């Protein structure tokens, strides 16, 4: 491998390259986080530097070791059975979570029902089943034995959408009682985890639903990104202004976005698109708005996430 090509690859700004964004958006089905590295290398080799290797020998070596560890045991049949049970529990937990999140979103528009103890129990159950489902998913994708204090482990986990959804669910736990639309974030993740394990459902109607969701994966992720990056941010800001919640939630929101931003191309797209639209309207109506507003916005928008 060319060291110079590798250094160029490591320092490449993926979020600002329109050609890469277009290439990524046309990939179907959308690659998983573990596949994304390969597609990045493939695109970079073709468009930027042909000296870059698609795969490193050390990575292939690690993968072969992992495969040997996973399938070389004499207890392979028992491992497969345990793995299947884990997936069944994961799909069951996430399915219950999706159902409860829909119910809670409806109850959110009914103030008399929203504030009672029954709704509160549903919220707690919904959060618990989401946590169980995402926890099992993260366990399943982790290389065994799990080493929590290694860079490799956290590089893999931080690139997983289920980890960020789990983090959001725990961080916004206090808001789920008053603003159940928060469940949009983990629900989208749950839909595609279940879609990747449709064989466990064994239900034609449900399989059809998840197949359609898979076909519209990019659109769904994009809509969620706009809600998570823009809609949720506006809700938190207005709630703080009206003194409904603590300013702590806004700082928490910013920390979560900064953690997710480098790994989520849809969040990056949502921020860029919104920023371009705001700048467009500020330029058009510059004669009708106070001059300090564009200056303040420019200063805020230049803060790196």
pLDDT, mean over the chain? 81
Higher local confidence (pLDDT), 42 or 184: 184
> Residue 285 pLDDT > 60, yes or no?
yes
pLDDT the model gives residue 302: 73
Q: What is the dihedral of CA 11, 17, 21, 22, to 10 degrees?
A: -140
Tokens describing residue 100:
């409860």
Q: State phi, psi for 145 to the nearest 5 degrees.
A: -70, 150
pLDDT in tens, 85-131: 888 899 999 999 999 999 988 887 776 555 678 888 899 999 999 99
Start-end of H helices in the chain:
3-10, 18-25, 33-47, 57-71, 76-107, 111-114, 117-141, 151-158, 161-171, 184-195, 198-201, 204-215, 217-226, 232-241, 248-260, 265-284, 292-301
Distance, CA of 172 to CA of 93 (rounded, Å): 20
Mean pLDDT of 272-283: 89
Nearest to 143 by CA among 166, 164, 160: 160
Least confident interval from 47-51, 79-83, 167-171, 230-234: 79-83
305 band by pLDDT with thresholds 50, 70 and 90? low
Q: Would you say residue 74 has pLDDT above 80?
A: no
Identify whether the C-beta of residue 39 lies closer than 8 Å to the C-beta of residue 27.
yes
pLDDT single digits (tens) 47-72 = 888 777 776 544 444 444 434 343 34
Q: What is the pLDDT of residues 215-248, one digit of tens each?
A: 899 999 999 999 999 999 999 999 999 988 899 9
Token couple for 161: 């959408």
Query: Closest Cα partner for 48 from 82, 6, 78, 80?
Result: 6
Rounded CA-CA distance 82/71 in Å is 14
pLDDT above 70: percentage of residues in the chain: 83
For residue 167, pLDDT over 90 is answered with yes
**pLDDT average, residue stretch 27-36:** 65
């Amino acid at each position: 491998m060319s060291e110079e090509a590798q250094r160029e690859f490591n320092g490449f700004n993926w979020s600002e390259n329109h050609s890469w964004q277009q290439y990524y958006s046309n990939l179907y089905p959308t690659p998983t986080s573990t596949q994304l590295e390969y597609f990045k290398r493939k695109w970079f080799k073709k468009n930027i530097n042909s000296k870059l290797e698609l795969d490193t020998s050390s990575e292939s070596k690690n993968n072969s070791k992992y495969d040997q560890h996973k399938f070389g045991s004499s207890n392979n049949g028992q491992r497969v059975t345990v793995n299947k049970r884990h997936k069944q529990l994961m799909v069951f937990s996430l399915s219950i979570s999706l159902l409860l999140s829909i119910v809670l979103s409806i109850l959110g528009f009914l103030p008399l029902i929203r504030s009672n103890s029954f709704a509160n129990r549903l919220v707690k159950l919904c959060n618990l089943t989401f946590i169980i489902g995402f926890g099992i998913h993260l366990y399943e994708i982790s290389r065994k034995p799990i080493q929590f204090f290694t860079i490799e482990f956290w590089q893999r986990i931080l690139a997983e959408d289920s980890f960020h959804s789990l983090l959001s669910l725990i961080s916004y736990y206090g808001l789920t009682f008053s603003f159940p639309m928060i469940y949009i974030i983990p629900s989208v993740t749950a839909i595609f985890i279940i879609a990747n394990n449709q064989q466990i459902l064994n239900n034609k109607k449900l399989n059809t639903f998840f197949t359609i969701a898979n076909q519209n994966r990019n659109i769904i992720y994009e809509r969620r990104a706009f809600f998570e990056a823009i809609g949720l941010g506006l809700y938190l800001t207005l709630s703080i202004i009206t003194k409904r919640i603590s300013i702590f939630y806004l700082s928490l929101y910013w920390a979560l976005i900064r953690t997710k931003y480098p790994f989520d191309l849809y969040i990056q797209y949502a921020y860029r698109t919104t920023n371009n639209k705001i700048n467009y309207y500020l330029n058009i109506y510059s004669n009708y708005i106070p001059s300090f507003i564009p200056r303040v916005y420019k200063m805020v928008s230049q803060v790196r996430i």
